[in-house]
Amino acid sequence: MHKARFTEEQMVAIVREADRKPVSVVGKRHGVSKQTIYTWRKRFGGFQANEVRRRLVRYACSNMMWDWSRSVERISASQGCGSS
């Protein structure tokens, strides 16, 4: 997977700018297509730039907990823990 050119916070900021100015002008200014801005708008519709970071942190934490619990389950199963 390749690295994105823009962070999610930057994407939201560009979408907010496109809410105030014509999409074609904003797209040219940032070097992205109009379709890209519409896709980002669909993805981040109601978000502000500072809300995206909180959402990402919450998502990352839940993923870490899920990974940890899956690891514990695998270790327990491989060692025969909890079986009668």
Q: Which pairs count as long-range contacts for 15-21, CB under 8 Å and 24+ apart, including other chains?
A: 15/40, 15/41, 15/44, 16/48, 16/49
State the pTM of this model: 0.57
Express each pLDDT in 47-82 by its tens digit.
Answer: 766 666 666 666 666 666 666 666 666 666 666 655
Residue extents of the structural domains in the chain: 8-77
CB 44 within 8 A of CB 52: yes
Express each pLDDT in 2-61 by its tens digit.
Answer: 677 898 889 988 999 999 999 999 999 999 999 999 999 888 877 766 666 666 666 666
